[in-house]
Structure 1
Amino acid sequence: MTIHPDIAKVLSTLPAPDGSPLSPQAMRADEAAQVPPADKRLPLHAVADAIADTETGDVPVRIYTSDEGQTHGLLIYFHGGAFFLGSLDTHDHVARALARETGHLVISVGYRLAPEAAFPAGLEDCYAVVRWAAAHGETLGWDGRNLAIAGDSSGGNFVAAVAGMARDRGFTGITHQILFYPSVDLDFDEGRYPSMRENAVGYGLETAGLKPFNAFYLESGADPADPLVSPIKRQDLTGLPPALVITAEHDPLRDEGELYGRRLEGFGVAATVSRYDGANHGFVQNFSWIPEFYRVFEETAEFLKAAK
């Protein structure tokens, strides 16, 4: 189907890429300026900033509690942003919606960003916070059941990579992995996936922009051939947690996400792949106010209840 009309209206207002160099500092400032004030955000029972004292050092986190329950499942959330953008604030609304719809205690991770922090700093922060949350479950109010990880775009990359790291390092506590339009293959050869050609231009994220946007991460030492950088290249996916992979019809990254889901199934991992028609890359962050796209949070809640 065609792009959703509300998304099309927004896309029509965006300036065409002019090929000028990207400035992480300027782009982060622009993102920060668009964050709504606290009183305009989805209200929850409690939202608190904290510091996770982990093996990689102190990592800022934001903890979201949807209700007065004494214990909850845990959902660790890794924000997107091509590894150099995004923050606890820019994705605050996503974490709030996840908390409200799933009933889980959501811990959003303020991991270190490229290019200032070279690979694998941000990835190690995410893994370390998962281990920290598991170790501090009693203090956090964990019910001892679900310990899920979720992320969008590059955050989805971190989800897949962290799931693999956990298996390799003998940590079996992760119960679910949730990937929203993940970037799981950082080899940006346009011939690899039809969606890179079908959705190359006009849908927000453009295929020609993939290399420059991810250059800060790749130039910091992240090798696209490394399964921790391109999780779809992991040879053996057995033993990974059940997965929900959300993709968008009009996204250059659509096919790699769907292939990752099929590969998981091929190794005996329960995987649900759900494509949102009429959506583009980033719709969970940018367009979840549209009712049919807000459904993604409800689908996430259903997955957490059903998957074992």
Structure 2
Amino acid sequence: MPLHPEIAKFLAALPAPPQGPLDPAALRAGDEAHVAPPAERLPLHSVEDVAARTASGEVPVRIYTPAEADRYGVIVYFHGGAFFLGSLETHDHVARSLAWETGLKVVSVGYRLAPEAAFPAGLDDCHAVVRWVAEEGESLAWDGITLAVVGDSSGGNFAAAVAARAHDEGFGAITHQILYYPSLDLDFDVDRYASLRENAQGYGLETAGLKPFNAFYLDSGADPADPRVSPVKREDLTGLPPALVVTAEFDPLRDEGELYGRRLREAGAEATVSRYDGAGHGFVQHFSWIPEYHAVFAETRDFLRR
């Protein structure tokens, strides 16, 4: 099907990108300027900002509790933004929708960003917060049953990498990995995946922009050949937690996400790959108000309940 008309209309109205080198501070400020004021956000039982005391240091987290209950399954959520953008604020609406639709408590992680924080600082923060949730389970009213890692785009990269690292360390508490249009292969050779050519231009995220946008992370010491950086390159995927991999029809990153799902199944892991037609990269963050794309949260809920 063609690109969703609401998405096409939005993209057509976007101004031309600025010329010259990318300015992280300016891009972050631009993202923050579009955050909805608190009064317009989805209300939940409670939303609390705390500092998680972890092996990686104090990591800011925002804890979303959807309703009053004795115990909760927990989602640890890692926002996207090419490893240098995004924050607890820019993805607040995603975390709220996750909590509301799933009924689980959501811990959103304000991990350190490139280029100010060199690899693997952000990944370490994400991994450490997952450990912190398990260690602090009683204070978080964690039910001890469900502990999912969820991420979109580069956050999906972190979710996959954290799930693999936890497995290697013998930490078996992670029950699910849920990846929304994940960036899983930071080798941007355009011949690696057909979607890099098919969706190269005109759909929001463009193939030519992948290298410059991810350069802040790669230049900080992240090697694309390292499976901690490109989780799809991990040789052995056996024993990893069940995965829901959500992809978008018009996303340059579509095929690497779908390859990861296939490789998980080939390794004997449970994996569901769900492609959203008419969508481009970032649709969960930017277009979840469209009913057919808001359905991703219901799909997430159903996957977690299986």
Q: Decide: shared fold, TM above 0.5.
A: yes
Q: Report the equivalent of 1:111.
A: 111
Shift of 1:70: 1.5
Shift of 1:16: 3.4
Q: Report the equivalent of 1:15.
A: 15
State the distance in 2 between where 1:17 and 1:8 align. 17
State the distance in 1 between where 2:14 and 2:210 align. 17
Shift of 1:83: 0.1
State the distance in 1 between where 2:19 and 2:226 align. 28
Q: Report the equivalent of 1:236.
A: 236
Q: Report the equivalent of 1:175.
A: 175
State the distance in 2 between where 1:154 and 1:94 align. 15
In structure 1, stretches of 5+ residues that fail to align are: none
CA displacement 1:115-139 (0-9 Å, x = unmatched): 0000000000000000000001111
State the distance in 2 between where 1:107 and 1:46 align. 12
Aligned AA (1:82): A
| Residue correspondence of structure 1 range 149-168 to structure 2 within 5 A | 149-168=149-168
The farther-off stretch of 160-169 and 109-118 is 160-169
Q: Report the equivalent of 1:246.
A: 246
Shift of 1:104: 0.5
Shift of 1:178: 0.1
CA displacement 1:67-86 (0-9 Å, x = unmatched): 01111101000000000000
State the distance in 2 between where 1:67 and 1:160 align. 28
Identity percentage over the alignment?
71
State the distance in 2 between where 1:20 and 1:2 align. 32
| Residue correspondence of structure 1 range 123-138 to structure 2 within 5 A | 123-138=123-138
Alpha carbon RMSD of aligned pairs, Å?
Answer: 0.7
SS of the residue aligned with 1:123?
helix
| Residue correspondence of structure 1 range 22-41 to structure 2 within 5 A | 22-41=22-41
State the distance in 1 between where 2:70 and 2:47 align. 15
CA displacement 1:180-232 (0-9 Å, x = unmatched): 00000000000000100010000000000000000000000000000000000
Shift of 1:4: 0.3
State the distance in 2 between where 1:236 and 1:16 align. 43
CA displacement 1:129-176 (0-9 Å, x = unmatched): 000000011110111110000000000000110011111111111000
SS of the residue aligned with 1:278?
coil
Aligned AA (2:230): S
Runs of 4+, deviation exceeding 4 Å: none
2:212 aligned with 1:190? no
SS of the residue aligned with 1:60?
strand
Q: Report the equivalent of 2:262.
A: 262
Q: State TM-score, norm by structure 2.
A: 0.99
Shift of 1:17: 3.7
Aligned AA (2:254): R
SS of the residue aligned with 1:247?
strand
Aligned AA (1:186): L
Q: Report the equivalent of 1:55.
A: 55
| Residue correspondence of structure 1 range 203-242 to structure 2 within 5 A | 203-242=203-242
